[in-house]
Structure 1
Amino acid sequence: MKQKDEPIVVNVAERRLVGRKAGHGVPTIVLEMGLGAAGSFYDEIARQLATFTRVVWYDRAGLGQSDPVPTPRTIQDLVFDLHALLHTADISGPYILAGHSLGGLTIRFYKKHYPEEVAALVLIDSAHEEQQQRQLAILPSSQANEPNALAQLRYAWEVSWCDPFSNEEHIDNLVNSELMRTCGTLGSTPLIVVSRGRSNRDPDNYPPGLVEQIEQIWYQMQCELAGLSSRSKHIIAEHSGHLINKDEPEALIKAFREIVMQVRQEMEI
């Protein structure tokens, strides 16, 4: 049965944050998007989740319908906004926090600072705090006649990644990595890690074997994320690239159903 969305509009530090909620029941799933993605990126998934529990998703500051904010920003700022949004809108926990890409860092940081509010986490092809240095370490030395795709990739990691004003939200990745190193593990918090099964890069545009190396490193980091909790499950979306909600949405819906049932059993609902 299709669920009707309800708007969420709150004032946070004299600016407007806009989101949506749908469905009923506990726990509440809260969706945190990847870099530059407004809440509408997850509309379809959210409405499917709303058929079996309540779900909340929103536009971060400066995206979609939410007001802009001074920049640069860090995950600390994003967590402040998300916490204010949920509490100002009187959306009670416990929460299952779900984060795609950059959103994975945000929800881990939220769990660190508001542990009593978080029942479980879902990391969706999540970023890792060491991804920049690990990716740079495997790139071959710069050559005058190297493939354009390789030159662009090197520039992205060496220059753009370090400059907050080069990304859509002016997010400071360097500060984020330092903040994440204070987070530690997730203990016994229920955790599902859903990782991509294929690359979005065409191997023909890179030196032989490089794309495979990149994916191996990404997979290793995903395994490390799964290792953050003693109660975790690692799912590979075999047919999906980074945008799992678009490529293999059924893998996400299945994972969410599983973790909602787990949390309900532990809450004796």
Structure 2
Amino acid sequence: MPRLINIGERRLAVSNKGRGQPTVVLEMGLGAAGSVFNEIAERLAALTHVVWYDRAGLGYSDPAPTPRTIQDIARDLHALLLHASIPGPYVLVGHSMGGLTVRFYREHYPEEVAGMVLLDASHEEQRERLLAVLPPEQEDELSHLAHLRHILSTRWNDPNKNEEKFDHRANSALMRHCHSLDDLPLMVISRGHSDRDPAKFPPGVVEEIELTWLQMQRELARLSSKSQHMRAEKSGHMLNRDVPDLVVEAICQVVLQIRA
């Protein structure tokens, strides 16, 4: 059972285990409570101190005013680590949208961050780039393509249409002010295959989406001069579920690199 920490405006549920430095901090993807990282956190605790938590409105944490942005999340996380007396330096691990959050956190609290792991992380330009590879809209297009187009072109713009009421447009604008990671130890792990069934899309569309996604993942890896980029060939987007061994190994590598 996580403990509830009052950060001033709300209480956030946090779990932590293990000993040693640096402290690994796990940041989830959109709509996911901290419990999605339970297995990975338990294994990491054999090597170092690890922290995972529920963002506001998820799991056991109190709700927060909406819409929200990655700036709100980073501020909450900073306050949580302070009020819970969890010392740095931190290795920030961000899955999916959590990748934007940890990069934003490092931009604003650089002295606290010793390393970073991005797990099939979001890219600030992914909406525009993915829309660009979709074929021109047709009245009788396949339902899965129409649904994807609707998500990218319409739902993405409305914070009320996602689980945590995030303002994705504001998030992308905030990320434009984030710079490189310099020589920060960085591990980027990308999915090896799509979770979409190519048979339900026009020929070549899913393949183009995956090539575009891979290019964005390579760009994330180039944010640091001390980065490694791995593709999880047996995994879709949910790396923590599909390849937990690889995720644990990658995080441990960054921890040991910092200690060395």
- TM-score tier (shorter): over 0.9
2:143 counterpart residue number: 148
Q: 1:26 aligns with which of 21, 29, 32?
A: 21
Q: Provide the C-alpha distance between the structure 1 equivalents of 2:170 and 2:30, rounded to a whole number of angstroms.
A: 15
Q: Is this contact kept in 2: 1:75–1:106, CA < 8 A?
A: yes
Q: Is this contact kept in 2: 1:101–1:126, CA < 8 A?
A: yes
Which structure 2 segments of 5+ residues have no match? none
2:30 counterpart residue number: 35
Q: Provide the C-alpha distance between the structure 2 equivalents of 1:239 and 1:107, rounded to a whole number of angstroms.
A: 25
Q: Deviations over 1:1-41 (max 9, x none)?
A: xxxxx733211233111110011111100000000000001
2:252 counterpart residue number: 257
2:205 counterpart residue number: 210
Q: Provide the C-alpha distance between the structure 1 equivalents of 2:122 and 2:128, rounded to a whole number of angstroms.
A: 13
Confirm or deny that 1:11 pairs with 2:27. no
Provide TM-score, normalisation by structure 1: 0.95
1:79-118 → structure 2 map (5 Å cutoff): 79-118=74-113
Which residue identity lines up with residue 160 of structure 1 in the other structure? R
Deviation at 1:256, TM superposition (A): 1.1
Q: Provide the C-alpha distance between the structure 2 equivalents of 1:107 and 1:8, rounded to a whole number of angstroms.
A: 22
1:172 counterpart residue number: 167
Confirm or deny that 1:195 pairs with 2:190. yes
Confirm or deny that 1:139 pairs with 2:139. no
Q: Is this contact kept in 2: 1:38–1:60, CA < 8 A?
A: yes
Q: Provide the C-alpha distance between the structure 1 equivalents of 2:177 and 2:26, rounded to a whole number of angstroms.
A: 23
Q: 1:78 aligns with which of 51, 70, 73?
A: 73
Secondary structure of the corresponding residue to residue 184 of structure 2 = coil
Seq. identity, %: 58
1:3 counterpart residue number: none
Confirm or deny that 1:124 pairs with 2:119. yes
Which structure 1 segments of 5+ residues have no match? 1-5
Q: Provide the C-alpha distance between the structure 2 equivalents of 1:141 and 1:57, rounded to a whole number of angstroms.
A: 42
Confirm or deny that 1:62 pairs with 2:62. no
Which residue identity lines up with residue 228 of structure 2 in the other structure? K
Which residue identity lines up with residue 64 of structure 1 in the other structure? G
Q: Deviations over 1:121-163 (max 9, x none)?
A: 0000000000000000111111111100000000000011111
Which residue identity lines up with residue 231 of structure 2 in the other structure? I
Q: Provide the C-alpha distance between the structure 1 equivalents of 2:2 and 2:121, rounded to a whole number of angstroms.
A: 27
**How many residues are paired up?**
260
Q: 1:181 aligns with which of 173, 176, 179?
A: 176
Q: Is this contact kept in 2: 1:8–1:21, CA < 8 A?
A: no
Confirm or deny that 1:232 pairs with 2:220. no
- Runs of 4 or more, structure 1, over 4 Å off, are none
Q: Deviations over 1:86-128 (max 9, x none)?
A: 0100000000000000000000000000000000000000000
Secondary structure of the corresponding residue to residue 2 of structure 2 = strand
Q: Provide the C-alpha distance between the structure 2 equivalents of 1:15 and 1:261, rounded to a whole number of angstroms.
A: 35
